[in-house]
């Protein structure tokens, strides 16, 4: 399963609902974009969020990409958010940078997604409590060589903790016990 987030302009991250359990920011400076998804040379970054958590949003700030003077287009630079199966979210920071800007510098861009990844049927937490970020090329111009690189910027991952079913049952029982009325 694949969900693609494409952002045409900067937008504020607007998460609603329960308070967030945590967030982690990853510096993109120096991260290179090599080959197609799943290839060995791609940069992988693991973010620890804790077992039983689910990613609910992502934002990015001042992301600048560099086509390294080659044939790569900005809209080919992609960050995938992966889970333990084959599900992932593909995020393009420079969706409008096509062939006219090949090999150039793109950005800076900032933005975010209020799209709940969980609401789209995807849980982005591995059994060990990691979220895996993969940086790759949507179209590989030079197999085995860096097609592009991030000059600067950061990505922030937001998550909520999901209580175990046993904990939810105990909360339910506590609620029932707390609502019992006394007869007088």
Rounded Cα distance between 110 and 153, Å, is 9
Given this model, what pLDDT does residue 177 score? 47
Rounded Cα distance between 175 and 108, Å, is 50
Contact yes or no for 83/100 (Cβ under 8 A) = no
Contact yes or no for 5/115 (Cβ under 8 A) = yes
Q: What is the pLDDT of residues 42-87, one digit of tens each?
A: 999 988 888 878 788 888 999 999 999 999 999 999 999 886 666 6
% pLDDT > 90, the chain: 45
Given this model, what pLDDT does residue 52 score? 75
Q: What is the pTM of this model?
A: 0.77
120: tokens are 């789209």
Contact yes or no for 145/123 (Cβ under 8 A) = no
51: tokens are 């077992």
> Residues 116-143: what's their mean pLDDT?
78
CB atoms within 10 A of CB 66: 22
Position 161 pLDDT exceeds 70:
yes
Q: Which of 14-23, 67-76, 141-150, 157-166 has the lowest mean pLDDT?
A: 14-23
């Amino acid at each position: 399963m694949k969900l693609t987030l494409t952002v045409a302009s900067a937008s504020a991250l607007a998460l609603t609902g329960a308070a967030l359990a945590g967030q982690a920011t990853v510096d993109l400076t120096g991260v290179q974009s090599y080959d197609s998804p799943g290839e060995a040379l791609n940069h992988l970054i693991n973010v620890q969020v804790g077992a039983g958590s689910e990613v609910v949003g992502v934002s990015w700030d001042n992301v600048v990409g560099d086509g390294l003077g080659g044939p790569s287009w900005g809209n080919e630079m992609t960050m995938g958010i992966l889970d333990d199966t084959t599900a992932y979210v593909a995020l393009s920071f420079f969706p409008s940078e096509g062939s006219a800007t090949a090999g150039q510098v793109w950005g800076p861009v900032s933005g975010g997604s209020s799209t709940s990844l969980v609401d789209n049927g995807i849980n982005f937490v591995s059994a060990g409590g990691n979220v895996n970020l993969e940086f790759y090329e949507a179209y590989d111009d030079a197999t085995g060589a860096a097609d592009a690189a991030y000059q600067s910027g950061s990505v922030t991952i937001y998550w909520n903790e999901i209580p175990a079913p046993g904990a939810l049952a105990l909360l339910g029982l506590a609620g029932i016990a707390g609502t019992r009325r006394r007869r007088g």
